[in-house]
Amino acid sequence: MTMRLFLPLILVAVAVVPPAQTGGDYYVRLTGNDAAGDGSSAAPWRSLTNAIAHVPAGARIRIGAGTYAEEPDFQVMSTISDLTLEPENAGDVVTITGNSSTSYATRIRRCSGWTFNRLRFTTQSNSVSSALTVIGLTTGVSGLTFNDCEFVVRSAGTAARYPVRLVPASPGGSIRNVAFNRCTMRGNDLGSGGGLQDVVGVYLVAPAPDTDTLDSITFTDCLATGNTGMWLRSGTNILVERGYVSGLNGYGILVGRADEVDARYSSGAIVGTTVELLGEVGHAMLVGHCTDDSRWTLDGVRVPRCYDHAIAVKRSTGTVVCNCYAAGGIDMAMSLKAAHDVVIEHNVFEAGAQGAFYVTGSDVDDRRTGGCQFVDNVVIAPTDRPLFALGGPLDDDGTNVIDRNVYVRGAGSPWGTVYGMAVSSATLPALWAAWAAYPRAGNDGASRVVGF
C-alpha cells in the first residue's frame, strides 16, 4: 500500500512596497490652483509654499513668470533634499517678494542640497529687512547653491537692511557649504546714512562662535553693493572671488569688526575681486580685530577708488596681502594698526593724500605692530605725496622686515612723515628706526628708489 503525504499549501501574502518617488518636474504658475492642481504642467500649483510641501526629494520645481508675494519658509521641509527651483522657461523673470508682515522675504531654516537658479528675491516694503535670510537651526542648513540670482531690499530710513543674511540660530546653529555664483546683492536706494546703518549687501555672522557654525560660504563672480558691500563678521573658510563689491559711506568689504572687540572664528580669502568705496566716509577694505584663531588672505584684490584708506589691517594677526593694487584716497593706500605677523608682498600701492603706506600702534591699549613683512612691493608717491607715514606707539623690537621694495617718488615727494613731521631721504634711517630698527642687516638692503 502506498502512503501519500499531503502537505497543506500555505499562501503567504507579501506586501510589495513600491520605492519612494524621487525626482521629476513639477510646475507652479500664477494661474495655477493649490487645491485642484497636481503639480503637472497641465494642472500647476499656485504657490511655492504648496509645491515645496508636496514634491519628493530630487524634484525640480519650474516656476512660471511673474511675482510671487509669499514668504517661503523652508523649515518644514527638513526631510526633503536635493530640490531645484528655477523659472519654467529660459526667458522668464520670477520674483519672490514676501509681504510686509515679516522681517524677511524668504527664509531658509533647515534643508540640504537645494539649488536656486535665475530667481529674483526682493522685499515689498521698507519694513522687511532681508530679501534672503538663512538661519541654520541645530539640524542645520547645508549644500545650498544660488546660481544667477538677484537679491534686492528697499532701504529707506536708517534701519539695517540685508539683501543676503546668513545667521546660524544660536546656540548650536549650523550653516555649511553655501555657494553664490554670478549673483547680485544690492539695495534699490542706498540712502544717505553713515556707518553700517543702511544697507549691507551681504552679512555673515555667527552670534555665538563657540557653539554656532558658519563654514565654507563662497561668492564667485558676484556683485554686492550697499552702504557696506559685504560685512563678513564671522565664519570660517569664507571665499569671495572674481567679484565686484562697493560701499557708499561704510566699507566696501568689512572683515571682522571695526570696533574694539575681537572677531573670533573668522577666516577666509578674498581673491581677484575689485573693491571700491564710492562715498565720502570709510575705507574700501578693512580687516579688523581678526586675531588668534582668525586668518584672512587678500590675493589679487584691486582697489582703484576709496575715500580714506584703500586697504587697512587693524588689530589683526596673520593676515596676508599679496598681488593687490590699492590707490589711496584722502588717506593711505595701505595701513597697519596694531597688527601682528602680517605678510605684505608683491603689491602695488599708490599714495593717497597722506601717503602710500601707514603704520601705527593702538592708542587704546598701547598694542603695537610687529612681526610684519613688507617685501617685494612697488610703492608709488606722486609729487608732494609722502611714501610713508608712521604714528602712535610702534613696535621697535626689530621684528618687522622691509626688503626688496621699489619706491617710485615724484619730484618733491617727501619720503614720509613721522607724527606729522616731514622726513627727507637723509633722515630715512630714523623713520624706519621708529618702526623696525632700520637699518640693520638684511633689512631693506635690496630695495631701489626710482624717480619720475
CATH number reported for the structural domain that contains residue 226 in this entry: 2.160.20
For the ranges 3-7, 191-195, 300-304, 327-331, the lowest mean pLDDT is seen at 191-195
What confidence tier does 444 reach under pLDDT thresholds 50, 70, 90? very low
Helix (H) or strand (E) holding 122: strand 120-122
What confidence tier does 421 reach under pLDDT thresholds 50, 70, 90? very low
What confidence tier does 402 reach under pLDDT thresholds 50, 70, 90? confident
Distance CA 314, CA 391 (A): 14
For the ranges 264-273, 323-332, 388-397, the lowest mean pLDDT is seen at 388-397
| pLDDT tops 80 at residue 388 | no
Report the sign of the C-alpha dihedral through residues 75, 76, 78, 83, in that order. negative
Query: Residues 78, 52: contact at Cβ < 8 Å?
Result: no
What confidence tens digit (pLDDT) does each residue in 137-171 have? Answer: 767 889 999 999 999 887 555 566 788 999 888 77
| pLDDT tops 70 at residue 452 | no
What confidence tens digit (pLDDT) does each residue in 190-220 have? Answer: 443 333 346 788 988 877 767 788 899 999 9
Could you tell me which of 412, 320, 313, 292 has the C-alpha nearest to residue 357?
Answer: 313
| pLDDT tops 70 at residue 284 | yes
The three-state (H, E, C) secondary structure of 143-209, written as one string: EEEEECCEEEECCCCCCCEEEEEECCCCCCCEEEEEEEECCEEEECCCCCCCCCCCEEEEEECCCCC
Q: Which residue is it, cell 621684528?
A: 399
Q: Does some domain include residue 16?
A: no
φ and ψ at 66, to 5 degrees?
135, -175
| pLDDT tops 90 at residue 238 | yes
| pLDDT tops 50 at residue 354 | yes
Q: Does some domain include residue 18?
A: no
Q: Does some domain include residue 8?
A: no
Q: Does some domain include residue 173?
A: yes
pLDDT for residue 123: 81
Could you tell me which of 163, 323, 314, 181 has the C-alpha nearest to residue 227?
Answer: 163
Distance CA 282, CA 390 (A): 20
Highest mean pLDDT pick, 254-263, 305-314, 394-403: 305-314
What domain count does the chain have?
1
Could you tell me which of 133, 263, 127 has the C-alpha nearest to residue 185?
Answer: 133
pLDDT for residue 302: 96
| pLDDT tops 60 at residue 428 | no
Q: Does some domain include residue 31?
A: no
Query: What nine digits make up the cell of 385?
Result: 605725496
Query: What nine digits make up the cell of 146?
Result: 544660488
Which domain, by its residues, includes 322?
67-451
Could you tell me which of 258, 251, 435 has the C-alpha nearest to residue 361?
Answer: 435
CA 387 to chain CA centroid, Å, is 31
What confidence tier does 240 reach under pLDDT thresholds 50, 70, 90? very high
DSSP H helical ranges for 8-162: 48-54
pLDDT for residue 164: 92
Strands 416-418 and 421-423: antiparallel
The proportion of the chain whose per-residue pLDDT surpasses 90, expressed as a percent, equals 34
| pLDDT tops 60 at residue 97 | yes
Q: Which residue is it, cell 528675491?
A: 121
Distance CA 76, CA 139 (A): 12
Could you tell me which of 372, 369, 375, 371 has the C-alpha nearest to residue 349?
Answer: 375
| pLDDT tops 80 at residue 292 | no
Q: How many CB atoms lie within 10 A of CB 438?
A: 18
Q: Does some domain include residue 45?
A: no
Q: How many CB atoms lie within 10 A of CB 161?
A: 30
pLDDT for residue 21: 59
More confident call, 179 vs 106: 179
pLDDT for residue 394: 56
pLDDT for residue 398: 57
Q: Does some domain include residue 263?
A: yes
pLDDT for residue 374: 86
Q: How many CB atoms lie within 10 A of CB 261?
A: 11
Q: What mean pLDDT do residues 242-256 have?
A: 91
| pLDDT tops 60 at residue 15 | no
Q: What mean pLDDT do residues 77-100 have?
A: 85
* Length of the chain in terms of residues written: 452
Query: Residues 218, 239: contact at Cβ < 8 Å?
Result: yes
What confidence tier does 437 reach under pLDDT thresholds 50, 70, 90? very low
Query: Residues 232, 268: contact at Cβ < 8 Å?
Result: yes
pLDDT for residue 434: 45
Q: What mean pLDDT do residues 61-87 have?
A: 82
Q: Does some domain include residue 191?
A: yes
Mean pLDDT estimate for the chain? 79
pLDDT for residue 415: 63
Highest mean pLDDT pick, 26-35, 274-283, 351-360: 26-35
